[in-house]
Amino acid sequence: MSINIKLEVFEGPFELLFHLIEKAKVDIYDIPIADITDQYINYLKMMQSLDIDLASEFLVMAATLLEIKSKMLLPKAPKNDEIEDSDPREELVKKLLEYKAFKELSFVLKEKLSINEKALCKDSNLADEIIDSFTLPDKLSIEILLEKFQMLMKKRESFNNRGFGKIYRDNITVEDKITQILKILSSARVLYFDDLILDCINKLEAILTFLAVLELIKRRKIYVEQSSNFDKIIVRRR
């Protein structure tokens, strides 16, 4: 006999809590915290038994719920005029409601998006074409190009850092770099280490280049010299 489990996947602990609160049909301002905590933990256990990885946020929330539950069990302190006896659930409820407000808003935005994304704009190719037809000035500052190029590099770098993978020069290896350096040195007698690094499109490639230089030194194919501190490092063929 097979058991069908309809497993709902929740984006985060707030979503799971909302689901439990709605299912229990209770007032969000008066959550029966012991019940909800048990249900919450049961759900986590079920997920674990199914070998489903849970984000650590789910466990943090479980700890928070247990803490609130234990505070609720403590006998109420005798009325004190100076210290307002606050409900241990208050902060959680506030966060839940804030999250709910944004969630509802996101549906409104989704509706707006579904209409307005169908209004298409034109690209600026025509304007670019016209601008490129203007005559060039007599002189231009090279800084403009430098700035443009650095901006592009920065954009690429930040995308790379966000796990987009490399966009350029795919699958480059240390061996590729070694071949490249040897090729340059087969026609040029010397080359500057700086130039090798400057030629790199991102940090990974710079690291690979550095490793290639080390490897070539080890293989006794090249040697490097530097006449004094902070001078350019020269790479020579052996």
Partner 1 sequence: MDIRKIKAVIECLLFVTGDPVSLKELSIVLEVDQNTLRKIINQLIDDYNDSIRGIKIIEINGSYQLCSKPELYEYVEKLLKPKAKTGLSQASLETLSIIAYKQPITKSAIDSVRGVKSDACITRLLEKDMIKEVGRMEGPGRPILYGTTDTFLRLFGLKNISELPPLKDFE
Map the footprint of partner 1 across residues 137-156, applying CB under 8 A.
137-146, 148-150, 152-154, 156
Site for partner 1 in 197-216 (CB under 8 A): 198-199, 201-203
Residue of the chain from 7, 24, 41, 113 that contacts partner 1 (CB under 8 A)? 113
For partner 1, the binding residue among 6, 25, 76, 112 (CB under 8 A) is 112
Q: Is 102 in the site for partner 1 (CB under 8 A)?
A: yes
Kindly state the smallest distance separating residue 163's Cβ from partner 1, in Å. 7
Residue 24 in tokens:
């229990």
Which residues lie below 8 Å from residue 232, measured CB to CB, with a gap of 6+?
192, 193, 194, 226
How many residues belong to the site for partner 1 (CB under 8 A)? 77
Interacting positions 153-182 with partner 1 (CB under 8 A):
153-154, 156-157, 159, 162-164, 167-169
Indicate the DSSP class of residue 219.
T
Query: Could you tell me the smallest distance in angstroms from the CB atom of residue 23 to partner 1?
Result: 18
Q: Is the dihedral of CA 4, 6, 12, 15 positive or negative?
A: negative
Answer positive or negative: Cα dihedral of 188, 214, 179, 171.
negative
| Under rule CB under 8 A, residue 97 binds partner 1 | yes
The mark string for 44-63 relative to partner 1 (x by CB under 8 A, - otherwise) is -----------x-x---x--
Amino acid letter, residue 101: A
Of 51, 52, 57, which is closest to residue 16 (Cα–Cα)? Answer: 57
Residues 21, 93: contact at Cβ < 8 Å? no
186 binds partner 1 (CB under 8 A): no
Of residues 48, 70, 106, 173, which one binds partner 1 by CB under 8 A?
106
Binding residues for partner 1 restricted to 64-93, rule: CB under 8 A: none
Calculate the CA dihedral of residues 188, 192, 197, 199 and round it to 10 degrees.
-40
Dist. CA 81–CA 91, nearest whole Å: 22
